């Protein structure tokens, strides 16, 4: 066998080996991605099916009196509490460390 034929066969073997490895890698990534996407969709569908019993609209009948009361309570907490805290910091904190009698 001469040197040129041996070099050609060696180069052919290396290129075929590279092509097979690259093809296997691409196929492996493709199959893994496909299986991952399919499993994700199956898990999402199963979760949606399991949770569907808990996520249906329930009509809630709230009277106008209850809505008014809750609105007033929210306003008292959201507005009244900062005002009360500001008054405490403004009037009470300066008295700390001083005498209570003038």
Whole-angstrom Cα Rg for the chain: 38
Q: Residue 57: what pLDDT? A: 66
Q: Residue 1: what pLDDT? A: 57
| Distances in whole angstroms, Cα of residue 4 to Cα of each of 7, 8, 11, 12, 13 | 5, 6, 10, 12, 14
Banded model confidence at residue 13, pLDDT cuts 50, 70, 90: very high
């Amino acid at each position: 066998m001469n040197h040129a034929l041996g070099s050609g066969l060696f180069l052919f073997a290396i290129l075929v080996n590279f092509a097979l490895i690259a093809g296997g890698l691409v196929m492996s990534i493709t199959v893994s991605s496909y299986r991952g996407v399919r499993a994700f969709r199956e898990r999402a569908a199963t979760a949606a099916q399991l949770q569907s019993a808990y996520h249906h609209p329930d009509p809630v009948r709230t009277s106008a009196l209850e809505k008014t009361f809750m609105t007033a309570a929210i306003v008292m907490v959201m507005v009244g509490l900062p005002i009360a805290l500001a008054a405490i910091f403004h009037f009470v904190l300066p008295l700390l460390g001083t005498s209570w009698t003038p």
